[in-house]
Structure 1
């Protein structure tokens, strides 16, 4: 009886460990980086719409490289949205009051995917990078399209003194079944 119990316990442990391995095996990330430019003439205290960024997905290739297909994708969510200044000697992000990021694609509604409200201005710490909060919106259909568009809306707390190049780092988490 003890041998049977030990064997059953061992079998349960192996099955649970195998399930954890399978879950990890079919999770992958899609990383995108794009650059935005902020000019000194932008007004403060008003919502500003920056130039839209169109991102070609190469979805079929991306999914195939990760041993899956669009039909097998279970869920795609935004995992990270970061803004970083490329020339941090000019200015930090204290000028930024808030930001809203929206995503759209052909035939799909525009959805809010990331935001920051009341970005803290801190004179004692230089703030060259800002992580935005995610909305946890499912983005499966957007990343299966040929392209999607990112719309960024900002409210500036103070004027930008010089042209600033901002790198947008976007990372999506994909959960999919294998081929």
Structure 2
């Protein structure tokens, strides 16, 4: 059985050097999916780029997405024929791109895909995320059939939240990877 590769999917404007995704990349060798334009993200371009990366490898994949990256995962899963290559996904602080202020700043990202994901997933949400209410995150988790994890009042679960390398999140990711290895042996 080949070990899974972790792909990091940052949100709008990428993840800075103190973001848990950047720290995981440095500490664990996970691979960031680089997008062509972090400042003006186009849904179709981001989906195409994720598809390109998914097709390039031969190992099972585990996705670790933040904010707009979560919305990307669900949009991609709704159109790709290659979702079987993904073993699991950690979805952290999804951005509610259907909110008026985000819809205006991120045109083309609404509506949010709501089909069940074809792989196991965990959605981690905060009770005071400025980009998505906890109730809305719960609705998305239910639609995607993701297990919802309440992270309390931790803002947008980014560098400003003071998470550092976010051991709790990494434990959730490792649990997803272990579940995959124990139930989906190659």
Do they fold alike, i.e. is TM over 0.5?
Answer: no
More strand by share: 1
TM-score by length of 1: 0.25
More helix by share: 2
Between 1 and 2, higher relative CO (CA 8 Å, sep ≥ 6) is seen in 1
